[in-house]
Amino acid sequence: MSLSRHRKIIFALLLISLSGIMLIVSTVGSVSIPVSDVFKVLISPIIPSQGESLKNSFKIIILLVRLPRIILSVITGMGLAVSGAVFQGIFRNPMANPYILGVSSGAAFGVALGMTLQLQISFLGLGAVPLSAFFGGMLTALVVYFISGNGRSIFSLLLSGIAMGFFLSALMSLIMYLNRDQLENIVYWSMGSFNAASWIKILISGPVILLGSAVIMIFSKDLNILILGDDTAMSLGVAVRAKRLFFLIISTIITASAVSASGVIGFVGLIIPHTLRILTGPDHRTLLPLSMISGGIFLLLSDTIARTLLSPTEVPVGIITSLFGAPFFIYLLHKRRKALV
Partner 1 sequence: MKKEAVRIHNLTWGYNGRNILDSITLTITGGSFTGIIGPNGAGKTTLIKLLLKLLSSEKEKIIIQSEDIVSLSRKELARKMSYVPQTPGVDLGFTVEQIVAMGRNPYLKYFEQESASDRAVIRQAMEETQIFHLKDNDISRVSGGELQRVIIARALAQEPDILALDEPTSHLDINHQIRILSLIRSLSTRKKITVIAILHDFNHAIEYCDNLFLMNNGRIEAYGNPEKVITPEIIKKIYNLNVKMEKNPFTGKPYMVMSI
Residues found near partner 1 in the complex (CB under 8 A): 218-219, 221-222, 224-225, 227-232, 234-239, 277, 281-283
Which CB atom, from 21 or from 217, has the smaller least distance to partner 1?
217
- Work out how close the CB of 120 gets to partner 1 at its nearest, in angstroms, rounded to a whole number: 44
Rank residues 232 and 311 by Cβ distance to partner 1 and give the closer one. 232
Cα(87)–Cα(95) distance, integer angstroms:
9
- CB 340, min distance to partner 1, A: 9
Closer residue to partner 1 (CB): 181 or 231: 231
Between CA 253 and CA 127 the distance in angstroms is 18
Q: Whole-number minimum distance, CB 327 to partner 1, in Å? A: 24
Closest CA to 127 of 180, 202, 201: 201
User: Shortest approach of partner 1 to residue 339 CB, angstroms?
Assistant: 11
Smallest gap, in angstroms, from Cβ of residue 234 to partner 1?
5
Q: Which amino acid is at 210?
A: L
Q: What is the DSSP letter of 260?
A: H
Q: Which is nearer to partner 1, 139 or 249 (CB)?
A: 249
Nearest approach in angstroms of CB 232 to partner 1 is 6
Which are the contacts of 247, defined by CB distance < 8 A and separation ≥ 6?
86, 89, 90, 216, 219, 223, 226
Shortest CB 102 distance to partner 1, Å: 27
Identify which of 238, 218, 219 has the alpha carbon closest to the alpha carbon of residue 228.
238
Nearer to partner 1, 179 or 224 (CB): 224
Q: Which is nearer to partner 1, 37 or 222 (CB)?
A: 222
* Rounded Cα–Cα distance for residues 278 and 271 (Å): 10
Q: Least CB distance from residue 5 to partner 1, whole Å?
A: 13
Give 75's contacts (C-beta < 8 A, 6+ positions apart): 202, 205, 206, 209, 210, 258, 261, 296
Phi, psi of 121 (to 5 degrees): -120, 155
Of the pair 199, 219, the CB lying nearest partner 1 is at: 219
Residue with Cβ nearer partner 1 (127 or 282): 282
- The answer to whether 247 and 255 are in contact (CB under 8 A) is no
d(CA 18, CA 296): 8
Query: For residues 222 and 303, which CB has a smaller minimum distance to partner 1 in the complex?
Result: 222
3-state secondary structure of 42: helix
Radius of gyration of the chain (CA): 21
* 8 A C-beta contact, residue 79 and residue 254: yes
> Cβ of residue 88: shortest distance to partner 1, in angstroms?
11
The SS3 of residue 126 is strand
193 closest CA partner among 126, 254, 129, 140: 129
